[in-house]
Amino acid sequence: MVVIIDYQAGNLTSVERALEALGVQATVTAEPEVVAQASRVVFPGVGAAGKAMQTLRERRLDQALLRVFENAVPILGICLGAQIILDQSDENDALCLGLLPGRTRALPRQTGVKIPHMGWNQVRFIREHPVFNGLPELAEYYFVHSYYPDPARPAMVLGVTEHGISFPSVVAWKNLVATQFHPEKSGRVGLKILANFLAWDGSYAQ
């Protein structure tokens, strides 16, 4: 069972439709008991870190995510779901899930650089991973964000993107992968990532 976690953080329908395009009927749920039964978990989201963490804790979804991570269930974090997997966020100074060590940081404001970073941009992959196999080298992906994940261990960074600075846009550790961009809104290349995730067994040797 593929589960999409509902914690009132938006963009669930677009993720659900992208999976349907791949022939997968996902279960959208806010119930931790359902998350615990998942064979794969998609953890999307847009919005503020503080509010998102409040909702996750109220619904006991924070503990459900920790359990599926510890049980080696493949997890895909998207956008906000790539940020609050770390220990803490600059946004609201929020304490986050701590699945990966590190901090989510604000994109620095610079002359001529628009914040939020919105639109299409490239990812330079610096490490290989089964979920990102077979992607065109110069492909572009859809971004909407003002913060980015900054894992404590450089080996957790798979890809980087340029927007004023070079920031981590793809991170991974064990059975978890996460993208700052939205694969569900990134056309064919995004569907390729989702298809790879659905075929991935959760193993990753770093």
DSSP letters spanning 86-100:
SSEESGGG-B---SS
Catalytic entry in 16, 79, 91, 117 = 79
Q: Is 129 a catalytic residue?
A: no
Q: Is 70 a catalytic residue?
A: no
Which long-range contacts link 82-88 to residues 24+ away (Cβ below 8 Å)? 82/149, 82/171, 82/178, 82/179, 82/180, 83/49, 83/147, 83/148, 83/149, 83/180, 84/45, 84/49, 84/52, 84/53, 84/56, 85/43, 85/149, 85/176, 85/178, 86/149, 86/150, 86/151, 87/152
Cα 202 to Cα 206: distance, rounded to the nearest angstrom: 13
**203's tokens:** 């193993």
Q: Is 79 a catalytic residue?
A: yes
Catalytic entry in 117, 145, 163, 182 = 182
Catalytic entry in 96, 145, 163, 184 = 184
What residues are labeled active site? 79, 182, 184
